[in-house]
Amino acid sequence: MNRVISPANPLEAAHVTMRFGGLKALSDFNLVMRPGELVGLIGPNGAGKTTAFNALTGVYVPSEGEVLVAGARVNGEKPHQICARGVARTFQNIRLFKELSALDNVRIACHAGASSGFFDALFLTSHHRAEEGRILARAEEYLAVMGLAHRAGEIAKNLPYGEQRRLEIARALATGPKVLCLDEPAAGMNAAEKIELMRLIRGVRDSFGIAILVIEHDMRLVMGVSERLLVLDHGVTIAEGKPEAIRKDPKVIEAYLGDAYLEEKKIAVPEGRVRGEGGDA
Ligand SMILES: Nc1ncnc2c1ncn2[C@@H]1O[C@H](COP(=O)(O)OP(=O)(O)OP(=O)(O)O)[C@@H](O)[C@H]1O
């Protein structure tokens, strides 16, 4: 595939393959995230979505291919280095400082991008105090954007599950990313919480102008919020495009939507496929 790598694109993957022993969990994965885009990454269980996230964010080093942040190759860099370049992420399992307040969780993440150093902090210089003031204001803003302003003083572990998930996003935002990668941010939420979360995610993109890549199992939700979708199945990208086109793509219907959808829409089971295979949407 001929492609132009552009420093204007905050995140790109070019021909990324991930192997675990004999298993190819991700094959020739290509992605171009443009500034401010909201892209959904979907696919059935085990399709390779989290593996793609891990390869993009430095948790794994790609077996083949390149990951580029603003045009710079980052293969082999550690997750915190890639985060410092502007790619933040959340995880499927919540990773908060559970004993700290919501505000402190976000403040700590703000410090990742702060200019005040160790000696400034030790001697409480005026620079440090000014920096702390700015960080506090920013942390409060990120909490507010995620609808958590009223929870600032609450200990993270005492927040309801849905709010812990939103706090994770606030914390990722606080690192000042150009791209935010959200791994199933709505997992475990009820229907109303999911809809509210998707509205917030869109709001984050609109307010901060950052690109967002989101893994989400709920097809209707992700189609409602994304401008573009990539569909993985068995590690292979089987479709890419606007939600309207993806919805009608027979390969996607076969691989992802599964029997319930086929039954409901009275679509014949694709040849060679046995009922009971396919996705869980
Ligand atoms: N570290 C690893 N070692 C070995 N196999 C792995 C590893 N990570 C992922 N896999 C395998 O790679 C495949 C893709 O897994 P992955 O977690 O990326 O899928 P997924 O699309 O995110 O699935 P889910 O929707 O269930 O989270 C699976 O077969 C999984 O077992």
| Atom of ligand 1 lying closest to residue 20 CA | 4
Task: Give the β-pairing of 211-215 and 179-183.
Answer: parallel
Residue 49 CB–ligand 1 contact under 6 Å = yes
Residue 61 CB–ligand 1 contact under 6 Å = no
Domain presence at residue 267: no
Residue with tokens 């403040």: 107
Same domain, 103 and 77: no
CA–centroid distance for 169 within its chain: 9
- ipTM score above 0.90: yes
Residue 9 CB–ligand 1 contact under 6 Å = no
C-alpha dist (Å) from residue 171 to 7, 85, 100, 104, 134:
26, 16, 13, 10, 16
Same domain, 169 and 189: no
Same domain, 8 and 147: no
Domain presence at residue 193: yes
Domain presence at residue 231: yes
Same domain, 70 and 207: yes
Domain presence at residue 256: no
User: 251-263 pLDDT, tens per residue?
Assistant: 888 886 665 565 6
Listed residues 136, 155, 176: the one ending a domain: 176
With bands split at pLDDT 50, 70 and 90, how would you rate the model's confidence at 154? very high
Residue 48 CB–ligand 1 contact under 6 Å = yes
pLDDT of residue 274: 46
The CA 77 to ligand 1 mean position distance, Å, reads 21
| For residue 118, pLDDT beyond 60 | no
Q: DSSP string of 222-236?
A: HHHH-SEEEEEETTE
Same domain, 62 and 17: yes
CA-closest candidate to residue 17, choices 26, 5, 4, 9: 26
Domain presence at residue 91: no
Same domain, 72 and 208: yes
Q: How many domains does the chain have?
A: 2
Range of the domain at 107: 96-176
The CA 50 to ligand 1 mean position distance, Å, reads 7
Same domain, 126 and 147: yes
Per the document, the length of the chain is 281
The CA 183 to ligand 1 mean position distance, Å, reads 13
pLDDT of residue 119: 56
Task: Give the β-pairing of 38-42 and 23-33.
Answer: unpaired
Nearest alpha carbon, ligand 1 atom 28: 46
Running DSSP on this structure, what letter comes out for residue 157? G
Listed residues 121, 146, 176: the one ending a domain: 176
pLDDT of residue 122: 56
Same domain, 215 and 232: yes
With bands split at pLDDT 50, 70 and 90, how would you rate the model's confidence at 266? low
| Atom of ligand 1 lying closest to residue 232 CA | 21
